[in-house]
Amino acid sequence: MKRERLLLTIVNILLFCAGMLLCQMAQGQSTIPMYANQDPGYWYNLYQEEQARANGLEVSGKTSIDGLKASLSAANDTIIKQNATLVRLVKERNGQTDRAVKAEIALKPVRDELAKYEGKTNAGKAIRKVSNALTYIGGGTVLFFAIKAAVP
């Protein structure tokens, strides 16, 4: 009888300890790490938050990408316009250079002829000075008669 009483006391103590542990676990439910939580509402709320965050990131990412595409398109348009302007200017410059080269080639015989008449001696230089002086005197005479004719 004593032995049964002792076993019954041990069983009661074990039951009491088990009850205390269960009460402790009930209070400790709030301190369980969240990844161990079995509540479906918690996981659904977490899913909703992550989905909202992902949607926000998607929208902002698309907005940023669209803005970058528009900026890139505008930059490409500017580059295309600048390239067209550069091509036109280079063609104009090449045309003017070709025209200048042709003019130089056409003037070479005239320059050679003038170089002949310029003279390398003192007499040739004197003749050139006289020629220049006569040009100025002739121009002055024409101007004088034009003014005299214009003023009564």
Higher per-residue pLDDT: 27 or 81: 81
Query: What is the residue range of 147's domain?
Result: 121-151
Is 142 contained in some domain? yes
Is 29 contained in some domain? no
Domain identity same for 84 and 99: yes
Number of domains forming the structure of the chain: 2
Is 140 contained in some domain? yes
- Averaged confidence pLDDT in the chain: 84
Is 102 contained in some domain? yes
Domain identity same for 128 and 143: yes
What global pTM score does this model have? 0.37
List own/partner pairs for 97-102 with CB under 8 A and 24 or more apart. Answer: none
Is 70 contained in some domain? no
Domain identity same for 107 and 85: yes
Is 109 contained in some domain? yes
Determine contact, residues 73/79, Cβ cutoff 8 Å: no
Domain identity same for 108 and 126: no
Is 17 contained in some domain? no
Domain identity same for 110 and 129: no
Domain identity same for 129 and 109: no
pLDDT value, residue 26: 60
pLDDT band at 77 (very low <50, low <70, confident <90, very high): very high
